């Protein structure tokens, strides 16, 4: 199982176009921890897995642990044009915060948080309600 989870972890790192070092920095773990898991020296701890899920909520926990399901999910594959929309958002000034608009007049959903991931492994989080 250990090599299987390391394969899935490598798939995650590749999907987000990160190095293992940048991935470790993104989830706030020592770089050696990621290296040891990728090289099958160690098994990931629960804390390690939870940090991944916290930073990358689009990763299905069950897929990461057991390999059941898909990554990226079919809905994520359909939204491959999303990064260009996010890049447009990131070009706007980060000092301005607007109240989120409703998606349609029938929608009761409001934006809670927007997270922008950059190719260098960093990210920005916008909370319109704060």
For the stretch 83-96, pLDDT in tens is: 444 444 444 444 44
Q: Are residues 16 and 42 in the same domain?
A: yes
DSSP 48-109: HHHHHHHH-TTS-HHHHHH--S-SS-HHHHHTTTHHHHHHHHHTS-TT---PPPPSSTT---
Q: Are residues 11 and 70 in the same domain?
A: yes
Distance of CA 129 to the CA centre of its chain: 22
C-beta separation of 59 from 53 below 8 A: yes
Low-confidence ranges of the chain (pLDDT < 70): 1-2, 73-107, 130
Per-residue model confidence (pLDDT) at position 84: 40
Looking at the fold, whether 97 and 47 belong to one and the same domain comes out as no
Domain that includes residue 65, residue range: 2-77
Q: How many domains does the chain divide into?
A: 2
| CATH code for position 39 | 1.10.260.40
Q: Are 37 and 9 in contact (CB under 8 A)?
A: yes
The H-or-E segment that residue 125 falls in is strand 123-126
Q: What's the pTM value of the predicted model, to 2 decimals?
A: 0.56
Q: Is 94 in the same domain as 46?
A: no
Q: Are 56 and 70 members of one domain?
A: yes
């Amino acid at each position: 199982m250990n090599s299987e989870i390391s394969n899935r972890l490598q798939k995650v790192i590749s999907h987000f176009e990160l190095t293992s070092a940048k991935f470790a920095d993104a989830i706030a773990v020592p770089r050696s921890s990621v290296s040891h898991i990728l090289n099958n020296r160690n098994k990931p701890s629960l804390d390690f897995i939870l940090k991944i899920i916290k930073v990358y909520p689009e990763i299905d926990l069950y897929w990461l642990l057991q390999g059941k399901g898909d990554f990226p999910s079919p809905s994520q594959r359909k939204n491959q044009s999303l990064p260009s929309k996010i890049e447009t958002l990131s070009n706007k000034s980060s000092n301005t915060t607007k109240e989120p608009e409703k998606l349609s007049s029938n929608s009761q959903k409001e934006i809670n948080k927007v997270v922008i991931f950059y190719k260098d492994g960093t990210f920005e989080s916008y909370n319109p309600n704060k």
